[in-house]
Structure 1
Amino acid sequence: MSVLSEILHDLVQKKSSNGAELLEKHPTTKKGENYLGTLTSLTLKYKNHNNTNEIVHIVIKEEPEVSADMLETIRSMDLFGTEQQILSDILPKIELLTNTKIGPKIHYLAPKPPIIIMEDLTQLGFKNRNKKIGLNTNEVNLVLEKLADFHAGTILLEEQ
C-alpha cells in the first residue's frame, strides 16, 4: 500500500469503518499549469457511522514530477512547509477574524512526504481559469474582494 493510500485509508477510517469506494480520480490541472505541485482530484463514497452514504470531493497536492535538480531547489525553499503553515494555521485565523471563507478546508497535512489533502473548491463553484485568457471584470472584482478580506485579516491578526 502506497503512502498516499495509507493516508486516505486513515482519513476514511475516521468517518467510516466500512472503507471507501473511489468513484473518480483525475488531474486537477493540466500538465505544466501548476509548477510547484501535482494536484489530483478524488471523489470518494463511504458509509458514515450512521450507515448513510456520503460522498467527499478532495484535492491532493504532492510534490511535482520534475527533475531531481528542480525538486531539490523546490525542497530547499520549503515551499510546501510554507503553504502548509498558511493553510493550516494562518488562513483559519484570518477566516475567523473576518468571518470570510478564503481557502479550502484542510483534511490532512504531512511534511514527509509533503502532502496536502484539502477540500475540492470546484464543488463550491470555483473554477481554474486559463491564464492566457484571464478573468472578466466580475471575476477580477471577486478576487480583489477576497484579497481585501485577506489583507484586512492579516492586519487584525498582527494586532492580536
Structure 2
Amino acid sequence: MALKVGDIIPNFVSNDGNGNIFDVANYVGKKPLVIYFYPMDNTPGCTAQACSFRDQYQDFTDLGAEVIGISSDSEKSHEKFASKYKLPFILLSDNDKKIRKLFGVSAGLFGLMPGRVTYVADKNGKIVLIFDSMMATKHIPKALEAIKKLV
C-alpha cells in the first residue's frame, strides 16, 4: 500500500554507501527529510538527479533538512557513485527492495525499471509532499519548495 501525504514515514534501517548502519529513527523528530528513490547509480537520469541534489544540498541543509537517496544498488556501487560525483548526502542500499515496498514505490516504465519518487517529510516524519515522476531533475525544485514551506 502506497504512502500518502499526511502519513508518517515508516521506520527502516539500511546500510549506507560507507557501510554504516542508517536508522531513520535517528532523524525523525530532529529534522525534515527528503527521501528520494531512484532506479540505478550511474545512469544518465539518476546521475543528473543526484548531481542536482548535490548542487543544491547546501540549500537543503541551510533549511535544516537532510537528503537521502535510495536505490537497490549495492553499498559498493553507492560508494563509487558518491565518490565519482562528490555526493555529500546519504545513499542507502535497498537491494532486497524492502524499503521501496514499505513506501509503496511502484515500478515505473511498464514495470521494467524501479520508480523514481521523492518524499518530503516534516521533522516529525509526516509526509508533506510525494512527487512521482521519471523526470529526474524536476524532483529537486519540488522538494526544496516543500522544505521552504516547512521552515
TM-score, reference length from structure 1: 0.28
TM-score normalised by L of structure 2 = 0.29
> Which protein has the bigger helix share?
1
**Larger RCO: 1 or 2 (CA < 8 Å, sep 6+):** 2
Instruction: Name which one, 1 or 2, has greater alpha-carbon Rg.
Output: 1
